[in-house]
Amino acid sequence: LPEASVGWYWWKYHRRTLKPFCQEIPHPPAPDFIPCGNSTVDQKSTLARASCMAKKHKVILALNACSRVKCRPFIKWCRSDGFYFFNTEFVFEADGSFQTQYRKTHPALDIFDRPAYPDYSYFDSSSIPGVRFGAIICFDLVFKQP
């Protein structure tokens, strides 16, 4: 988990320390978009590598990672570094296609931001017909609304 990965001494870490480890996501990919092998996606990116792993091993893959989105500093809640940092769950289908993302609504650390609106993230799997999967992260599970 991104919150745990900053170590036992998380209070010594700052957003500038975390930034290089956060995948910049300009906007969530469309469902069924396959980042693996797509020329519009940096193949060294977290999304492309996760997509390729899911495709190679033919598994549904949920990946928890730090994501960042550019914002304008004059917009409410945008921090001075010009980014929102989110604790994010990305989910890929067994063919490598992106299915959904979920951004944690109740982050444990103040270096992460809250999304403006809660993500209600789910998808119907083509690998396992008739099964609907949902995505949620850790502590958000105890809240009535994620």
pTM: 0.83
Confidence of residue 2 (pLDDT cuts 50, 70, 90): low
* Percent of the chain that is helix, strand, coil (3-state, to 5): 20, 25, 55
**Dist CA 97 CA 83 (whole Å):** 26
Tens of pLDDT along 34-78?
A: 999 999 888 998 889 999 999 999 999 999 888 988 887 777 788
Statement: residue 94 has pLDDT above 70:
yes
Confidence of residue 145 (pLDDT cuts 50, 70, 90): confident
Here the tokens at position 119 are: 């993500």
Statement: residue 8 has pLDDT above 50:
no
**Dist CA 75 CA 125 (whole Å):** 37
Statement: residue 110 has pLDDT above 90:
no
**Dist CA 144 CA 10 (whole Å):** 28
**Residues with Cβ < 8 Å from 1, sequence gap 6 or more?**
64, 87, 137, 138
